[in-house]
Amino acid sequence: MSPRIKIIRKVLNPPVIKGFKPYGPDTDKLKQEPVLLLYEEYEALRLCDYDLLNHHMASVAMGVSRPTFTRIYAHARQKIAQAFVEGTQISIEGGKVYFDSDWYCCESCGCYFNNPERETGVEECPLCGSGKISRFDYDSAGNNDDYGQCSDLCYCPQCGFEKEHQRGVQCNQEVCPHCKGELRRKRNINNW
């Protein structure tokens, strides 16, 4: 039986460097073979330890399942630890990845297009050749279904005042305009 096909991992930002070299007096006596850190392992490390996302959020960003993400992350740490302890080089290369491309919008013909060649910027619309192009943010255009829209309410337990919950704002940080009490979250049952 053939093994399961690996899901292709999404890498948002490719690394700025190709690897790391150890330095010190005895580095030439150590073994020369570098540790191969895959792109997806670099990305896992970046999301988790640099951007401080949790494994679930990071797995969504890379387009893999949470257990797969944790496995990639564990491999990344093992390889880096091995390189540190044994004093070998780290080479960042390979892996089943693709580099995510950004969306653009043309104002003259109204089309949307992406730019798979990250290194070269876009100056004109590939369809009509017009220079009137702008970055198009898919998530901010109201298409972000990953997190779902929330129709919860905040309510005041003292006077019963209610207002629509604002995402990203904690309810207990908001103050009731009538009795100056802390607000609480009221779940909208229809959403569950």
Positions that interact with other proteins (CB under 8 A) = 8, 10, 63, 97-101, 109-117, 126-129
Least distance to other proteins, CB of residue 121, Å: 14
Enter the DSSP assignment of 172. Answer: G
Let me know how many helices (H) and strands (E) the chain has, helices first: 3, 11
Nearer to other proteins, 110 or 160 (CB): 110
Least distance to other proteins, CB of residue 166, Å: 29
Rounded Cα distance, 167 and 25, in Å: 55
Mention every residue, 6+ apart, whose C-beta is less than 8 A from residue 49.
none
Least distance to other proteins, CB of residue 116, Å: 5
Nearer to other proteins, 62 or 183 (CB): 62
Extract long-range pairs of 106-115: CB within 8 Å, 24+ residues apart. 106/130, 106/132, 106/133, 107/132, 107/133, 107/134, 108/132, 112/136
Least distance to other proteins, CB of residue 101, Å: 5
Least distance to other proteins, CB of residue 81, Å: 30
Which residue do the tokens 């460097």 mark? 17
Nearer to other proteins, 96 or 178 (CB): 96
Nearer to other proteins, 11 or 35 (CB): 11
Nearer to other proteins, 28 or 119 (CB): 119
> Measured between alpha carbons, how far apart are the two ends of the chain, in Å?
41
